[in-house]
Chain A
Amino acid sequence: MSKFKKKQGNVTPGISTASLPDIVFMLLFFFMVVTKMRDTELMVKVNTPQASELTKLEKKTLVNFIFVGRPTDKFKSKAGTKPRIQLGDKFATTDDIPLFLEKHKVSVAESQRQSIISSLKVDVDVTMGIIGDLKTSLRKAGQLKVNYSAKKRERTK
């Protein structure tokens, strides 16, 4: 008796998912390249305003960041609701500015110290009192190049 080989059941092959990890890795590499590690937890709310006359910050190593905003809910009990300055990873006052600037300065080569810029990331809702004090202490410390961080918008007509 000839054995009848049972013909393989005609099943349409399922969608190959072998390339799914490849797609995901591509997305992953994109994020790895485009973003940078947030090295400090933001303890203040910073929603920067919009402006049209923006200049790009070259050379991140020459930039120090100063955050000013109202404390986030997590820190409201510790720091209150009035605008606060955050330097690095803790709250600070204008008296801490000279030391903070100095610490950043020593990490920069002597020849490039004049190009150091302070990037002020300030929330829209902050009142100018604290900003004025901040600017005064920056001036006293000799840090005159300042960049007010903002999001791009079109110029008014």
Chain B
Amino acid sequence: MERTLAETIREYTRIHLLENNGLLLAQCVAAVGWIGGTVPELTEEQGIIELPICDASGSGFACGAALAGRRPIFIVRYQGFMWYDCVSLINYAAKSKEIWNTPCPIFIRSIAMEGKGIGPVASSAQYSMFMRPPGLQVCAPMTPHEWGEAWQWFLDHDDPIYVSEHRLSYSTTEEASNTIRDDARITIIAISAGRINAKKSVKYLSEEGIACDLIHLMWLKPLKITDEMRASLSKTGRGVIVDSDFSIAGASRSIAYELMHDTGAKVYAFGLEDRSSGVSKSTENCTPSPQKIVSYVEELLRK
């Protein structure tokens, strides 16, 4: 039986703690089913450190543990908390190798969620802010294989990596494949939970007679513009980045900018709206829904 993403993370973590002398640092580890079933039920002696609720300190502890050679996994259970937790990740871990030639490798698991009344504090993804400072790799894996790829990158390098996870992906067993069609009129490049919704929207648009290419994007920084992206955008002449983070000064606009300069195609950014999320259906601010993506694409094609 295939493993879910949550089971995959749990197994990689178990091996890291029990066989690699690794550490895992997080708040409330045992809560909510051991962080969505992604953490093995081990003890402090086996490497699981329950952090106190002083968010800004926690990332410092992770840096120190990394300097001590423990290659810690540092988990932030809601990405919105990153505005507190980012302090030492950005100011220290990301700079340490460049300034002092002292690696500070941390596997930063930052978990996004949205909807279900989660509201303004903890919702949505926040990876864009980690793409700005130098020194951090940023990715948003959504499948077991992709997460394993991020983990292997971490083991092969001595740099910190920001791994944006999404709660919607934890039960996934399926891997993602891009959709490329000769008759595609637009290229959709999707990130994080945007990939789930974009996939649904592409199916609906196809039924409406609008062929789309769909490219799943996991590595956000450094951005690797693939031949497939170039070929698709050259063919369609227009694209849209569907994002689970805010568009303004965010990943989607940054990537759209890179792709436009690289290919000459018009590439748009479609992420969260520029407003706080509420808890009611009418005030939530989530990853664009399949219906919204369909409307957005239809509007672009009318231009």
User: Is B truly associated with A?
Assistant: no
